[in-house]
Amino acid sequence: MTALSHIRNFSIVAHIDHGKSTLADRLIQSTNTVAERDMKAQMLDSMDIERERGITIKANTVRIDYTAENGESYVLNLIDTPGHVDFAYEVSRSMRAVEGSLLVVDSTQGVEAQTLANVYHAIDADHEIVPVFNKIDLPASDISRVAEQVEDVIGIDASGAIAVSAKTGEGIMETLEAIVQHLPAPKGDADAPLKAMLVDSWYDSYLGVIVLVRIIDGKLRKGEKIKFISNGTIHHVDRIGVFRPQMENVDELGPGEIGFLTASIKQVRDTRVGDTITHQREEVTPLPGFKPAQPVVFCGLFPVDSALFEDLREAIDKLALNDASFSFEMESSAALGFGFRCGFLGLLHLEVIRDRIEREYDIDLITTAPSVIYHVHLKDDTQFDLHNPADMPDMTLVDHIQEPRIKATILVPDEYLGEVLKLCQDRRGIQEDLTYAGSRAMAVYDLPLNEVVFDFYDRLKSVTKGYASFDYSLMGYREDNLVKMSVLVNDEPVDALSMMVHRDRAETRGRAMVEKLKDLIPRHMFKIPIQAAIGGKVIARETLSAMRKDVTAKCYGGDASRKRKLLDKQKAGKKKMRQFGKVDIPQEAFISALKMDS
């Protein structure tokens, strides 16, 4: 067990593509944690999708042994955390597991979106922060300008910032020395009852669930029985160890150390991020801030080829083993067949799950429009949660509907403030605060979550050229004038295209939807009405004209009876097709309509 004074636990905070993963690689390489022949780019990003997008989805850790210039040996524990707002809770818990952060800023670009959002997580966790200015090998590097930005916008002293090129290795040894000299050592009592924080967990097909833990007090040894305080479950510890970054077994973990345990746990759902772990017979005060992960965005996942439904079921079952925040239940649609109604932490979480299913299991998917949970209050004083707009009861039975609201904090450069305020106003936002920090403005808005989950984040990045940072927290539910808008094709409702909208915006949304569908649906031998309706009232309509041969414009040797026979045959065919019912809407039409801009 390492002495507390010789342990440093830290994370790296950075915007996308500012060099966080490359810096982590150089720290691992320069300390010979991994043999030179085994080194590869983005050592701590294990999934292909993480490497391709340049994002971190799962928190990863590595233990580094470092001998400082003063001759002392230190143990450095690095936790590489996700940066997207969808995983804000996991980030906040990971930050609570360490005492310091390296703030990495691209010296050619300066402070950007996720830099701000994530550094405030570190400040809230009372971290000691060491600024690191990366990419100094590039000609456009401007360290003095970036230092001024860090001081003005974030408000931390940048006079001792370290100039680094993670690509060439310049400044890496200075960074390691700064970690040892400036970041505080952890605190803890080895003789106290065991208290450990559950930082993360994932499923391994051989070992079961692997649990990443930070020991706060006490010691953890192999063979002991432990208890998860949130659900009271008891488990027998099979093995404990650390990551270097490969798994390496150890005899025990003491205060301040970060490592893993396995205990024949079969489901990730039994291990909740932020939970407190102790010995079976001990009673300790749980660590503050714990809350179970709650899905906030719901949508339907359907296979393009209905024959692949069982394959989709198997894929979703396997993904759910490894993701406790992902929920699902089976549903059927008259238009799309059998599929699953799934719950996600946000749109990025949705995209990651969908991409993994399509890539790892080779299943092409149709994704319905994302929606949130509504509280529907009926006139008989009962209330239920609405996950799917298609399940909305008749409006005559509904007294009122409540929608989830969020407190959104947006930091943006002055020149883009007008566009941001207009965007929030268009999304039914209520401004609560507007302040300035240097050349940046901070706008705080009360926004409906329904307006945010669709494409708000993309639109915000678009109007601010990527310079805005966006973070939010759920505030609760509030009543508003919401209605269910149905889409009917040939007088048949298409449940997959139903959505909840504000009554004032229903006509605009409905008109855009029917115009889009008119362009997407192929013409048939008869007219096809495409309508958007609220209850029994049609609010928008387009008619797709029939595709037919103009037999009257052709001459068949003057044989009028033959022309009449062809016309009669055409009429009979149209009548027969109407009797057989449904319009064949191609899958591409659904996919394009469901991806419409709100």
For residue 151, name the pLDDT band (cuts at 50, 70, 90).
Answer: confident
pLDDT score for 553: 47
Q: Is 20 annotated as a binding residue?
A: yes
Of the listed ranges 30-39, 295-304, 340-349, 471-480, the least confidently predicted one is: 30-39
Q: Which CATH superfamily is domain 4-182 in?
A: P-loop containing nucleotide triphosphate hydrolases (3.40.50.300)
Does the pLDDT at position 596 exceed 60? no
| Sheet of strand 365-367, all strands in order from the earlier edge strand to the far edge | 327-333, 337-344, 297-303, 365-367
Higher pLDDT, 278 or 574: 278
DSSP string spanning 212-230? EEEEEES-EETT-EEEETT
pLDDT score for 312: 92
Of the listed ranges 56-70, 478-492, 513-527, the least confidently predicted one is: 56-70
Higher pLDDT, 474 or 107: 107
pLDDT score for 278: 92
Q: Is 137 annotated as a binding residue?
A: yes
pLDDT score for 598: 40
pLDDT score for 555: 47
Higher pLDDT, 359 or 347: 359
Per-residue pLDDT, averaged over 224-233, amounts to 89
For residue 111, name the pLDDT band (cuts at 50, 70, 90).
Answer: confident
Higher pLDDT, 439 or 299: 299
Each domain of the chain, given as residue ranges in start order, spans 4-182, 195-279, 297-367, 374-480, 484-594
Per-residue pLDDT, averaged over 465-475, amounts to 77
Q: Is 134 annotated as a binding residue?
A: yes
For the chain, the average pLDDT equals 82
Per-residue pLDDT, averaged over 3-30, amounts to 84
Counting every residue written for the chain, the total comes to 598
pLDDT score for 41: 60
Of the listed ranges 19-33, 65-79, 122-136, 539-553, the least confidently predicted one is: 539-553
Top CATH class of 297-367 equals alpha beta
**Long-range Cβ contacts of 39-44 (<8 Å, 24+ apart):** 43/245, 44/80, 44/245
Structure tokens at 440: 């940046």
Provide the pairing of β-strand 440-448 with 398-413: antiparallel
Beta bridge partners of 62: 78
The count of other CB atoms within 10 Å of the CB of residue 70 is 9
Nearest to 94 by CA among 61, 129, 53: 61
For residue 425, name the pLDDT band (cuts at 50, 70, 90).
Answer: very high
Higher pLDDT, 104 or 36: 104
Q: Which CATH superfamily is domain 195-279 in?
A: Translation factors (2.40.30.10)
Does the pLDDT at position 443 exceed 70? yes
pLDDT score for 344: 85
Contact yes or no for 104/19 (Cβ under 8 A): yes
Per-residue pLDDT, averaged over 103-107, amounts to 89
| Sheet of strand 195-204, all strands in order from the earlier edge strand to the far edge | 234-236, 225-228, 276-279, 195-204, 208-217, 258-262, 239-243, 247-249
Per-residue pLDDT, averaged over 268-296, amounts to 83
Please state, in angstroms and rounded to a whole number, the distance separating the CA atoms of residues 269 and 143.
Answer: 46
Nearest to 78 by CA among 168, 211, 199: 199
pLDDT score for 533: 93
Q: pLDDT digits over 516-536, tens only?
A: 888 888 888 888 899 999 988
Per-residue pLDDT, averaged over 328-348, amounts to 83
Phi-psi region of 295 (alpha: psi -120 to 50; beta: other; left: phi over 0): beta
CATH number of 484-594, picked from 3.30.70.2570, 3.40.50.2300, 3.40.50.720, 3.40.190.10: 3.30.70.2570
pLDDT score for 195: 93
Q: Is 17 annotated as a binding residue?
A: yes
Does the pLDDT at position 9 exceed 90? yes
Per-residue pLDDT, averaged over 189-205, amounts to 88
Does the pLDDT at position 271 exceed 90? no
For residue 513, name the pLDDT band (cuts at 50, 70, 90).
Answer: confident
Contact yes or no for 306/345 (Cβ under 8 A): no
Domain 374-480 = CATH 3.30.70.240:
yes
Beta bridge partners of 320: none
Listed in sequence order, the residues at least 6 apart from 541 whose beta carbon sits closer than 8 Å to its beta carbon are 514, 529, 530, 531, 532
Per-residue pLDDT, averaged over 71-91, amounts to 76
Q: Is 537 annotated as a binding residue?
A: no
Q: Is 368 annotated as a binding residue?
A: no
Q: Is 22 annotated as a binding residue?
A: yes
Tell me the percentage of the chain whose pLDDT exceeds 70: 85
Same CATH fold assignment for domains 374-480 and 484-594: yes
For residue 459, name the pLDDT band (cuts at 50, 70, 90).
Answer: confident
pTM above 0.85, yes or no: no
Q: pLDDT digits over 540-563, tens only?
A: 999 988 876 555 445 444 555 666
Does the pLDDT at position 290 exceed 80? no
pLDDT score for 417: 92
For residue 593, name the pLDDT band (cuts at 50, 70, 90).
Answer: low
For residue 597, name the pLDDT band (cuts at 50, 70, 90).
Answer: very low
Does the pLDDT at position 28 exceed 60? yes
Please state, in angstroms and rounded to a whole number, the distance separating the CA atoms of residues 80 and 21.
Answer: 8
